[in-house]
Structure 1
Amino acid sequence: MEVTRTGADVLFVLLGAIMVLAMHAGFAFLEVGTVRKKNQVNALVKILTDFAVSTLVYFFVGYGVAYGISFLHPAAELVGKGENAAFAANGYDLVKFFFLATFAAAIPAIISGGIAERAKFWPQLIATSILVGLVYPLTEGMVWGTRLGFQELVTEWFGVPFHDFAGSVVVHALGGWIALGAVLMLGARRGRYRKDGRVVAIPPSNIPFLALGSWVLCVGWFGFNVMSAQTIDGISGLVAINSLLAMVGGILTSLLVGRNDPGFVHNGALAGLVAVCAGSDVMHPVGALITGGVAGALFVWAFEMCQDKWKVDDVLGVWALHGLCGTLGGLACGIFGLEALGGMGGVHFGAQLTGTLTGISIGAVAGLSVYGSLRAVMGIRLSDEDEFMGADLAIHQITAYPEEATTVHDDGQALAARAAARGASAA
């Protein structure tokens, strides 16, 4: 029976890992639909290579930092066979790594949207290595493991540990606050703000791609949240319904506050899902709906304030979406998770405040220090010429629509030839 249970758990976690893996396609298309055409290829390649680097670094370094586990053992031991019984049967620990690696890779995917259209390629991969190898695993290990005795200390203070079921703080707030530091180190895109303070509008290049990215993320998010239980026995329909209601709450409030803007509406769904991650297993569904609704409105307000008032050129609004809505989620868990408000209990607002502030502090410091150091050592921003030309041609030597570029080039040559012919005949 134990073997059967472990095998079922392996399949359960594996399916969750595949669903979260698919979310990275959502990150990619959300960015592709938001950036200008001349930067779409860069968005696709950046998300994919960040995922590859994240997986390798997390396998060899990060997972050990978080949980003290190394996979440098014979394959038989990794699947629970042989004399060493340190690993579970059927490779459960391996698929658990796969699942958590997709979470770790979300950190650079989040950052990518904030620094789009003007960041150098290779320095970003170096930043990814540092963040996924050290910064994220340390935070992960503090909250979901035993690192630094953080949870013991919180429990000693408040009687319960900091609760973050699916990563409102560990993944989203951390990634969003790191992204804010990166955006501040990079500065705004060229031409985004006039000298007199006026904002130059740069609308999304492709609303259908933006919407596709949002939908892919929404679907995958149910694997992100529900399968964070990591065992069949731990699965709860409460997580699914809370995720659903938070999502629709975010959609409707962003629709109203954002005045029917399609970009806000599709990001509003994500805002609700970010905010419900922490308490999706303990909140009452009505509490999840309220949390998602507040998150949708918060995203719209914060995005507009960043872009128009504070002149912080966060292209996809990742600080507003992940940083602030993740912060909201960490705190909301300590409110709507209380038994007095219909929740499951086992949470304390003081513990949630402590854990949330710790997470965003680590993120803010890491973002400023990592990207500030890289800026000083090698530079992190494209040259003015490359930024004007676009990251697609500057970095990858191809555009998202090469046939159009060829047509324009050929048409230009034809026009020049006709002009030269007219000049010759006139002479």
Structure 2
Amino acid sequence: MLSRLSMKAVPWPGVIAAAAFALLAPTSAIAGDVEFLTQSNANVLWTLIAAILVMFMQAGFGCVEAGFTRAKSAGNIMMKNFLDFSVGSVVFFVFGFTLMFGADVSGLFGSSGFGLSGVAESDLMWTYAFWFFQSVFAATAATIVSGGMAERTKFSSYVIVSIVITGLIYPVSGHWAWGSLWLGEAGAGWLEKLGFCDFAGSSVVHSVGGWVALAGAMVLGPRIGKYTAEGESRAIMGHNIPLAGLGVFILWFGWFGFNPGSTTTADDTIGMIAMNTSLAAAAGVLGSMALSWLRYGKPDISMTMNGALAGLVGITAGCATVGPVSSLCIGLIAGLLVVLSIEFVDKGLRIDDPVGAVSVHGVCGAWGTIACGLFNSDGGLFFGGGFGQLGVQLLGAGTFFVWAFGAGFVLMSAVKAVTGLRVSKDEELKGLDIAEHGSESYSGFQLFSNE
């Protein structure tokens, strides 16, 4: 029963008017309004849950990168992951989001909504959720780069690298493929107008990170002791494989936000996308495990873990447009590719990539993008679609390589020339935890070496 105080607080004229409207309004209109509101709230809730899962992937990246590298620089790896997420969020809010999703300028970049300004009040709640979801993708692209440049990069210089990736390199190319996601046709970039397919970011996110990592590793040069005087590769083992394994499982878990969450809609497609995602990852594990077993005589742990990530990266573009059997094929091929690519980058190109970022994200991201042109249920070559979609996918994969590697190489070279990109030899031998941050990751257990 209402108290006298609450009776006075109730705006009775408004209540009576609302009741009268409800009695007079058609029942179908009321039901439609309720259905619309329910669906809108469900979309916001699902998008936020997915974004939180993707944010947790930062922990996975940190564990993988720290585990695959040496103990003396593990803290530095974690610092860069914290930096990428934090600086990425701020920069993406101030202007990265605008470049990616604002009103289109000649199909090349966005130009409106700086700091989410100009958003209609009725769209604010959805826009906040959408921005948060996209900001964690931007941070992911930057974090991929930190692994390829691990154990010899100046932290102060990496701050600049992270800002440019999340504020310029990622948003500009992201606009080409995803520009319409916020403003519709008014924001569409040139690749999506051609019909380019990359549902959750095999190229937009992963290849961009992988190709910038390739540029960074090339400009930096290899870690001390990685190659002999004759140019032969020497393995530098990671210090904590169980930690890396935990990181892979965290990433696998977070990917169920990455791929199904890219619907930004709570609908009945998210189950299929989740199934395709997990099947591809499992196939990637089996492919890399089998090939490493054949090549090395034993199933290699690190290759197998990278196989899971390769399958996840590979299926990210087509997770909503291919069937489950196609997902198995895409993941299996990605698992095989990552083993061959890691060997080629290391021994063929003599590029030191401590965690396999170039192969996992760059190569397998390109494969996943191209695979849409082969396996898409509607338009793929293997499903009667001809070469049209495949041609667009090849163009897109090549474009992302040229842009990300080219811009990354210019960025790394400029930073190297102005502030220096690499720590000194003594600092590298001592380890970046002490040299760059003045502390040890494993106090009392730190082991030092001369290589």
Same fold (TM over 0.5): yes
* Structure 1 vs Structure 2 CA RMSD: 2.1
Tell whether 2:190 aligns with 1:150.
yes
Q: What TM-score results when the alignment is normalised by the length of structure 1?
A: 0.87
Shift of 1:393: 0.3
Q: What TM-score results when the alignment is normalised by the length of structure 2?
A: 0.83
Shift of 1:152: 6.2
The aligned residue for residue 381 of structure 1 is 422
Equivalent residues of 1:283, 1:343 under 8 A apart: no
Tell whether 2:232 aligns with 1:198.
yes
What runs of 5+ residues in structure 2 fail to find an aligned partner?
1-33, 103-111, 181-186, 294-298
The aligned residue for residue 361 of structure 1 is 402
Shift of 1:240: 1.3
Which amino acid in the other structure matches residue 150 of structure 1? W
- How much identity, in percent, do the aligned residues show? 38
337-346 or 250-259, which moves further after superposition?
Answer: 337-346
The aligned residue for residue 420 of structure 1 is none
Number of aligned pairs?
A: 392
Q: 1:258 to 1:152 in 2, by over 3 A?
A: closer
Equivalent residues of 2:68, 2:241 under 8 A apart: yes
Equivalent residues of 1:303, 1:317 under 8 A apart: yes
Tell whether 2:385 aligns with 1:351.
no
Q: 1:305 to 1:342 in 2, by over 3 A?
A: closer
Q: 2:305 aligns with which of 242, 251, 266?
A: 266
The aligned residue for residue 425 of structure 1 is none
The aligned residue for residue 298 of structure 1 is 337
Shift of 1:235: 3.5
Shift of 1:352: 1.0
Distance in 2 between residues matched to 1:344 and 1:104, nearest whole Å = 35
Tell whether 2:246 aligns with 1:212.
yes
Distance in 2 between residues matched to 1:254 and 1:311, nearest whole Å = 21
The aligned residue for residue 289 of structure 1 is 328
Distance in 2 between residues matched to 1:324 and 1:138, nearest whole Å = 21
Q: 1:240 to 1:200 in 2, by over 3 A?
A: same
62-71 or 353-362, which moves further after superposition?
Answer: 62-71
Distance in 1 between residues matched to 2:160 and 2:148, nearest whole Å = 17
Distance in 2 between residues matched to 1:379 and 1:362, nearest whole Å = 23
Q: Give the 5 Å matches for 1:5-404.
A: 5-68=39-102, 69-70=112-113, 72=115, 84-85=120-121, 87-88=122-123, 91-146=125-180, 149-151=189-191, 154=194, 161-233=195-267, 235-259=269-293, 260-339=299-378, 348-404=389-445
What runs of 5+ residues in structure 1 fail to find an aligned partner?
79-83, 155-160, 410-427
Q: 1:63 to 1:395 in 2, by over 3 A?
A: same
Distance in 2 between residues matched to 1:31 and 1:338, nearest whole Å = 36
The aligned residue for residue 26 of structure 2 is none
Q: 1:224 to 1:149 in 2, by over 3 A?
A: closer
2:225 partner SS: coil
Which amino acid in the other structure matches residue 125 of structure 1? V
